A and B are shown apart, each in its own frame.
Chain A
Amino acid sequence: DTGVSQNPRHKITKRGQNVTFRCDPISEHNRLYWYRQTLGQGPEFLTYFQNEAQLEKSRLLSDRFSAERPKGSFSTLEIQRTEQGDSAMYLCASSPQAETQYFGPGTRLLVL
């Protein structure tokens, strides 16, 4: 499968713990995006990378959230001191320049 991959697919954690998700984009896609989707809603933009540079962050991305794309390939999204409100599906997408975004399967996070 040469599409966008995300790991883990599911994560259950206790409130206050830190979690990290990984996204591997389609090779040679220089743009990478993170979105969050809660039940009954469409995906909401979190942040965007062009190569290794993080060019935009949503106000949804509180200081407990951090994202990196160290070598312009895979990306990680870390949530520190998780809260129950962080429970959601976290989606990653990639695109070659400003074109169609291809989505991964998502990581479903449940914070107990």
Chain B
Amino acid sequence: AQRVTQPEKLLSVFKGAPVELKCNYSYSGSPELFWYVQYSRQRLQLLLRHISRESIKGFTADLNKGETSFHLKKPFAQEEDSAMYYCALIQGAQKLVFGQGTRLTINP
């Protein structure tokens, strides 16, 4: 079965420190992976998708098919990065399969 695993439910780092949110997946075929973010009192929104290879708000994520990972990284965390982050893959070009999410807290 297709599955997305985010091993850390909580992650806390200091402002200015590097951030890495882990995501591993199991999927047969070529996956399309996403990171979604939910800021406090806001709706879930797309942060980035691997096929676009963009850097959004300083975040990047590289798909590693050998390790079946799609970790999200940012070199210097900012306080406004505090949010809930979800890794997801799309199955059958239709439904998203989400991980459990990681709550990131940036300490001043």
Contacts and interface: CB of A to CB of B under 8 A. Distances in A.
Interface of A: 3-4, 31, 33, 35, 40-45, 48, 55-56, 58, 91, 93, 98, 100-106
Interface of B: 4, 9, 43-46, 49, 86, 88, 90, 92-101
A61 to B, nearest CB: 12
A42 B88 contact: yes
Contacts of B95: 33, 45, 48, 56, 58
Nearest to B44: A103
Given A42-B100, A42-B101, A48 B43 contact: no
Contacts of A31: 94
Contact of A42 (B43, B86, B90, B93): B86
Contacts of A33: 94-96
Contacts of A35: 96
A100 B101 contact: no
A43 B44 contact: yes
Given A31-B94, A91-B44, 16 more contacts: A4-B43, A33-B96, A41-B101, A42-B4, A42-B99, A43-B98, A45-B97, A48-B94, A55-B94, A56-B95, A93-B96, A100-B49, A102-B45, A102-B46, A103-B44, A105-B43
Contacts of A104: 43
Which 3 residue pairs spanning A and B have beta carbons closest together? A42-B98, A98-B93, A45-B95
